[in-house]
Amino acid sequence: MNSVIVLILGFIVAFVGYRFYAKYVDTKIMKSDPKRVTPAKMYMDGVDFMPTSKNILFGYQFKSIAGAAPIIGPIIAIQWGWLPALIWILAGTFFIGWVQDYSTAMIAMRNEGASLGGLSHKLISPRARIILLAFIYFYLLLIAGAFGNVVVSTAIGLKAAPMAWLFLTIGGVLAGQMIYRWKKDIMLTTVVTVVIALLGIWLGTIAPSDKVIGANLANSRWVWAIAAFGFCYFAAVLPIWRFALPINYVASYIVFLGLFFGIIGIFVLHPNFTLPAYTNFSIKIGPIWPIMFVTIACGAISGWHSLVSTSGTARQLENELDARPVGGGVMFVEMMLALFALVIAGTIFTSSAEYGTAIAKGPGAIFAGGVAKFLGALGLPATIGRSYGSVMMIVLAITIMQLVIRFMRIATTELLSDVSPVFRNAHIGTIIASLLGMILVLTGWWQYLWVLFGGANQLMASLALMLVTAYLMSEGKPAAYAFYPMIFMFFTTIAALSYTSYSLLQKVLSGAVKGEALIGNTLMGLVGLFLVLAALVLGTEGLKAFKRYKAIRAAASAAKA
Amino acid sequence: MSENEKKGGFFQAIKEFVYGVAAHDSARFAMKSRASMEHLFILITMGDMLGVPILPPYYSLRLLPYVVPQISTWKRRILREKDLTDALA
């Protein structure tokens, strides 16, 4: 099949989903009302609650949800063949993905801008909130591990990447200094710092890491794991304007330009898929169900989005009608990003064997190769294109990673400060989070780590859909559009996490793994097991809440009769 | 940018989108940093409004006229229930 047909299919699904299905849910089920006062207006404080234009929020939501996951998932999942991956990306987004993003924003808006924790407390039970927060800590740990692995494998696989990463960091820090300290013009700052970042991409091609620091260090996972988590350490402990935010600012231009011209490149080259449409039901990392459905996470459905929709977007929407374009519309754009990654993985290799060799080294090199090919169609030399793609991959992973480590630092303080005052120290919380992440990166097999992350992410999504269902039932609205996706995601992710944890712990108990792998397998297996148990308890609490709402509705109907 | 501001056409929408991608988060965090400092200051000076007497009432009363515009949003933010997920977005 031609790659352009895949993109056109994506546009059709996005159009029908957004124009008809989402509109139906918005007008007939949620009954969004432009006259209803949103929390952004009701509780405006100029900070968290602030009425904001839907175009700005569209960009904000896109930037917040589009990390490395929608790109890496399809690149790995193509091992089952491109057709199952394509079907899941399209159907997952159409029936589940946008439903979650839009509906969580809506229920947060209808509940005074409550966060997911607050919604769990109100709609399910107080215990649900506590379990959810513990669940989120381990979920974030898996994000740090999975994305850390992407950074490390990209830095090793593409020797131009570290120099580009370094210059991006320099450009970002300079941007912070110019904007906040020197009060320089934003246009000047943007031009200077983006040019520095682009210069780093070019310098990476003439000064690759193996020439600068030697082949041994350039190929060491330890070196790049320390670099990645050291970067996150600074992002977590320094004032956010000095490091994390300005780097994200400069990086957003690099990523945005790369994606924009990359998609144009696909239309120019319009290559055919060269990898098989379908390979096997079961491959090395597991069977197509449930494992593929968690391998492709953010491109189809992602729990991360519900965190952004509730704590961020819902508090800024100035009109209920804006929830559909912002909450739902952005999910369809992310679907296109996942299709872009699928086209890259499916078209740049001449054979499955060639793909197999490339994927063994990690998905970063594949993505960079694809970016090089499609930017090459517009005249960019291949070496610079690969360098550009590699820094895009690192940026997409590390911008989420630094946020996660910062958040884990806060979570450590919240959860453990009563145990000992030492946990109130920002450095201690950051070091704990970084060390746990590093252990996963250095000792775990990356494909299992990715599946665990995807499983936790999708499970988070099913819990968010559970909250949506509970809200709809409590309001006496039809809940089927959220209930059935919730059931599907809940059982799929429980199965995926159980399967992966079992595979990992079986290797530990049978003595099949030793040394570093023993630590990695044990830690990942136990985290997976904890997530399954937490989800089962949350599921039970959710079931009780559903029964409660059903009984209340039945009693109300009986009283009317 | 509120709804009262003039809505432009396609290019205005693109401009706002780029702002949303690149800078909206930075602006929000800058506001958050300022709000945190202000709220801390009000807590020290006007804490007795929440039952936390810190500064002698004489100084609180001297500062009161300057703080009045902030009091409603300050109380709302301080008293609002928060959890870990608030820190994420």
pLDDT score, position A337: 92
- d(CA A7, CA A251) in angstroms, rounded, equals 26
Phi, psi dihedral angles at A52 (to 5 degrees) = -135, 145
A304-313 mean pLDDT: 92
Q: What local confidence, expressed as pLDDT, does residue A445 receive?
A: 77
Confidence of residue B26 (pLDDT cuts 50, 70, 90): confident
Which band of pLDDT confidence, cut at 50, 70 and 90, is reported for residue A8?
very high
Query: Which residues make Cβ contacts (< 8 Å) with residue A289, sequence separation at least 6?
Result: A492, A495
pLDDT tens digit sequence for A126-161? 888 888 888 888 889 999 999 999 999 999 999 999
Highest mean pLDDT among A40-54, A61-75, A461-475, B28-42: A461-475
Question: Does residue A479 carry a pLDDT above 60?
Answer: yes
pLDDT digits (tens, 9 = 90+) for A159-198: 999 999 999 999 999 999 998 889 998 899 999 999 999 9
**Is the pLDDT at A85 greater than 90, yes or no?**
yes
Gap between the terminal Cα atoms of chain A: 59
A248 interaction partners in chain B (CB closer than 8 Å): 25-26
| Nearest-by-Cβ selection for A56 from B19, B82, B87 | B19
DSSP per residue, A533-558: HHHHHHHHHHHHHHHHHHHHHHHHHH
* 8-state DSSP, B6: P
CA–CA min distance B58, chain A (Å) = 28
pLDDT at A541 over 90: yes
Helices within A111-185 (DSSP H only) = 116-119, 126-157, 161-176
Distance CA B17, CA A297 (A): 25
For B12, name the nearest residue in chain A, comparing CA atoms only.
A55
Residue B8 is predicted with a pLDDT of: 66
Q: Do B25 and A245 touch (CB under 8 A)?
A: yes
Cβ of B87 under 8 Å from any chain A Cβ?
Answer: yes
- What is the mean predicted confidence (pLDDT) over A476-501? 95
Q: Between residues 85 and 114 of chain A, which touch chain B (CB distance below 8 Å)? A: 114
Q: What is the distance between the alpha carbons of residues A150 and A131, in angstroms, rounded to a whole number?
A: 29
Distance between CA atoms of residues A324 and A105, nearest Å = 9
| Range of A207-211, A417-421, B55-59 with top mean pLDDT | A207-211
Residue type, A544: K
The predicted pLDDT at position A103 comes to 97
- Closest CA relative to residue A247, chosen from A164, A318, A351: A164
Of A51, A114, A256, the CB nearest to B2: A51
pLDDT at B7: 55
Helix (H/G/I), strand (E/B), else coil: A52: strand
Contacts of B1 in chain A (CB under 8 A): 52-53, 56
| pLDDT reading at B50 higher than 80 | no
Whether chain A has a CB inside 8 Å of the CB on B78: the answer is no
What is the Cα–Cα distance from A45 to B77, expressed in whole angstroms?
Answer: 8
pLDDT digits (tens, 9 = 90+) for A21-53: 999 999 999 999 999 999 999 988 877 899 999
For residue B26, give the chain A residue with the closest CA: A245
Cα(A346)–Cα(A273) distance, rounded to whole angstroms?
5
CA distances from A348 to A30, A85, A87, A144, A343 (A): 43, 17, 20, 29, 8
CA atoms within 13 A of residue A509's CA, in its CB half-sphere: 8
Rounded-to-integer distance, Cα A483 and Cα A465, Å? 7
Task: State the pLDDT at residue A95.
Answer: 97
Residues in contact with A424: Cβ distance below 8 Å, sequence separation at least 6, in sequence order: A413, A417
For A346-365, the pLDDT digits (tens) are 999 988 899 999 988 888 88
Place of tokens 């780097």: A247
Question: Which residue is it, tokens 């990476």?
Answer: A204
* Residue A331: pLDDT over 90: yes
Distance of residue B77 Cα from the nearest chain A Cα, in angstroms: 8
Quote the DSSP letter at residue A273: P
Please give the average per-residue pLDDT across A68-77, as a whole number: 92
What are the two backbone dihedrals, phi and then psi, of residue A159, each rounded to the nearest 5 degrees? -70, -15
Which residue out of A310, A311, A399 would a mutagenesis test of the B interface target, given it has the greatest number of B Cβ atoms within 10 Å? A311
Distance CA A538, CA A494 (A): 12
* Contact with chain B for residue A38, Cβ under 8 A: no
Check residue A31 and give its pLDDT.
96
pLDDT at A295 (0 to 100): 93
Partner residue opposite A411 with nearest CB, options B17, B73, B84:
B84
Average pLDDT over residues A1-12: 93
What local confidence, expressed as pLDDT, does residue B9 receive? 85
Positive or negative: CA dihedral B60, B66, B72, B76: negative
Select from B2, B24, B87 the Cβ nearest to the Cβ of A59: B24
Instruction: Quote the crossing angle between the two packed helices A82-92 and A3-16, to the nearest 10°.
Output: 20
**Hey, are the CB atoms on B25 and A248 less than 8 Å from each other?**
yes
Give the domain ranges of chain A.
3-560
B62 touches chain A (CB under 8 A): no
pTM of the model: 0.91
- Name the B residues in 1-60 with CB < 8 Å from any A CB: 1-3, 5, 7, 12-13, 16-26, 28-33, 35
Task: Let me know how many helices (H) and strands (E) chain A has, helices first.
Answer: 26, 2
**Cα A404 from chain centroid?**
11
What is the per-residue pLDDT across A279-305, written as a single tens digit (0 to 9) for each? Answer: 999 998 899 999 999 999 889 999 999
Q: Is the pLDDT of residue B52 over 70?
A: yes
| B79–chain A Cβ distance below 8 A for any pair | no
pLDDT above 70 for B5: no
User: In this complex, is the C-beta atom of B73 within 8 Å of any C-beta atom belonging to chain A?
Assistant: yes
Averaged pLDDT for residues A445-452: 84
pLDDT for A230 equals 94
Asked which of A160-169, A398-407, A429-438 is least confident by mean pLDDT, the reply is A398-407
Answer yes or no: are the C-beta atoms of A164 and A391 closer than 8 Å.
yes
The overall average pLDDT reported for chain A is 92
Task: Please tell me which of the candidates A63, A118, A311 has its beta carbon nearest to residue B81.
Answer: A118
Interface of A with B in 117-146 (CB under 8 A): 117-118, 129, 133, 136
CA max distance for chain A: 82
Structural contact between residues A6 and A335, judged by C-beta atoms closer than 8 angstroms: no
> If you write DSSP's letter for every residue of A436-465 in order, what string do you get?
HHHHHHHHS-HHHHHHHHHHHHHHHHHHHH
Which of A250-254, A408-412, A532-536 is least confident? Answer: A408-412
